[in-house]
Amino acid sequence: PTLKDAFAGKFYIGTALNIPQILGRDSASLKVVKNQFDAIVAENCMKSGHLEPQEGFFDFSTADKFVQFGLDNHLFVTGHTLIWHSQAPRWFFTDSLGHDVSRDVMIARMKNYISTVVGHFKGKVKGWDVVNEAVLDDGSLRKSKFYQIIGPDFIKLAFEFAHEADPNAELYYNDYSMANPQKREGVIRMVKELQSEGVRIDGIGMQGHIGLTHPDIDEFEKSLEAFASLGVQINISELDLSVLPNPDFHTGANVSDNFKYDKKLNPYAEALPDSVAKAFNQRCLDFFNLFLKHQDVIERVTLWGVNDGQSWKNNWPVRGRTDYPLLFDRNNLPKPVVKEIIDAA
């Protein structure tokens, strides 16, 4: 059995596709996608900077191919992501002089963007990450351009515009560091407010950018349970398990130090030691066992890529790292943990 066979009837198991994959330039990994996964999300090509690089100029060429691949292979297709402060085009927030636009202009642009994009994929994209990363670690709302120009109700408006454009699409809020108790409370506050205003929200996406020791799995579970008790589904989104230490930019290294800094923090450039591979294995199993335990509320678990070679973690938070965060190795071969995960299911 493959991953999707093992999880059938429990939750969807998905992966992100990058642009070379979508353009068919990486057939080996696409074979893995077809065999192992039953859901996909676009790693980059459906972000606003890609879809509307200039005002009024929409480019759906790559995104259309991505969605068609999903339809052809009967995969659940998630749209990622409508409103995010990052990878958004500058024009979105500014006038021709480079000044911030007014609240009304900003709302009109947001509405036009969401209606056009969600409308374009109506009936094909089954669920949308409507708002991404709007809550900070301390639980307050991020002071993004959306927040600064529109105010906190940009979140509610985004969900309403998406719902209008495709009343049958599922709508999600997606964010990282969700195990953090303060952030958990902030997200709960935000979702409760949406619900009390009668806004449709179907699910919460818990980004799974995790490491060998961080986050605390018990705190992750507490968040999962607390979110589920709001009556929404849980998507474990963007799952990858970095084996590298995370450089802390707050305590030193600036960008020009990255190379120096990076070498120090790129200990597995040649190969991954057995002991670390074992720790990776165990940590993966722990998380998948947690997902299985909560299969009633988890709708989908999505890896952030197929194989180690394509992972963004090789270039984040600094370029040129060698990471091993996914379930398939650089030759698209399943790591030992894949069989263990399948057996656990």
Q: Which is nearer to ligand XIL, 326 or 345 (CB)?
A: 326
Shortest separation between residue 238's beta carbon and ligand XIL, angstroms: 6
Q: Which is nearer to ligand XIL, 87 or 282 (CB)?
A: 87
Q: Which is nearer to ligand XIL, 17 or 345 (CB)?
A: 17
Q: Which is nearer to ligand XIL, 107 or 243 (CB)?
A: 243
Shortest separation between residue 93's beta carbon and ligand XIL, angstroms: 19
Query: Could you tell me which of 32, 181, 99, 175 has the C-alpha nearest to residue 14?
Result: 32
DSSP codes of every residue in 215-276? S-HHHHHHHHHHHHTTT-EEEEEEEEEE-S----GGGS--GGGHHHHHHHT-TTSS---HHH
Q: Confirm whether 238 is a catalytic residue.
A: yes
Residue 322 has a CB neighbour count (10 Å cut-off) of 18
Residue appearing with tokens 């259309």: 64
Q: Which is nearer to ligand XIL, 38 or 43 (CB)?
A: 43
312, 329, 340, 342: which one binds ligand XIL (CB under 6 A): 312
Shortest separation between residue 105's beta carbon and ligand XIL, angstroms: 26
Q: Which residues, in sequence order, are CB contacts of 195 under 8 Å at separation 6+?
A: 201, 230, 231
- State the catalytic residue, choosing from 238, 270, 299, 340: 238
Give the single-character DSSP code of 328.
Answer: B
Q: Which residues, in sequence order, are CB contacts of 120 under 8 Å at separation 6+?
A: 58, 60
Q: Which is nearer to ligand XIL, 211 or 279 (CB)?
A: 211
Shortest separation between residue 198's beta carbon and ligand XIL, angstroms: 27
Q: Give me the helices (H) in the chain, please.
A: 3-7, 19-22, 27-36, 48-51, 61-72, 103-120, 145-150, 154-165, 181-196, 217-228, 258-264, 274-293, 336-344
Instruction: Give the C-alpha separation, 300 to 118, whole Å.
Output: 21
Residue 211 contacts ligand XIL per CB under 6 A = no
Q: Which is nearer to ligand XIL, 43 or 166 (CB)?
A: 43
Using CB under 6 A as the binding rule, the residues of this chain from 99 to 128 that contact ligand XIL are none
User: Tokens standing for 192?
Assistant: 């409760």
Residue 43 contacts ligand XIL per CB under 6 A = yes
Shortest separation between residue 322's beta carbon and ligand XIL, angstroms: 16
Shortest separation between residue 258's beta carbon and ligand XIL, angstroms: 16
Using CB under 6 A as the binding rule, the residues of this chain from 216 to 275 that contact ligand XIL are 238
Cα dihedral 310/313/317/318 (nearest 10): -50
Report how many residues bind ligand XIL under the rule CB under 6 A: 6
User: Tokens standing for 27?
Assistant: 């057939």
The residue sitting closest to ligand XIL, measured at its beta carbon, is 312
Using CB under 6 A as the binding rule, the residues of this chain from 285 to 304 that contact ligand XIL are none
Using CB under 6 A as the binding rule, the residues of this chain from 50 to 109 that contact ligand XIL are none
Residue 132 contacts ligand XIL per CB under 6 A = yes
Shortest separation between residue 49's beta carbon and ligand XIL, angstroms: 10
CA distances from 64 to 43, 70, 94, 194 (A): 14, 10, 28, 31
Instruction: Give the C-alpha separation, 209 to 265, whole Å.
Output: 18
Residue appearing with tokens 């506050």: 189
Residue 318 contacts ligand XIL per CB under 6 A = no
Residue 23 contacts ligand XIL per CB under 6 A = no
Give the single-character DSSP code of 306.
Answer: S
| Residues catalogued as catalytic | 238
**Which parts of this chain interact with ligand XIL (CB under 6 A)?**
43-44, 132, 207, 238, 312
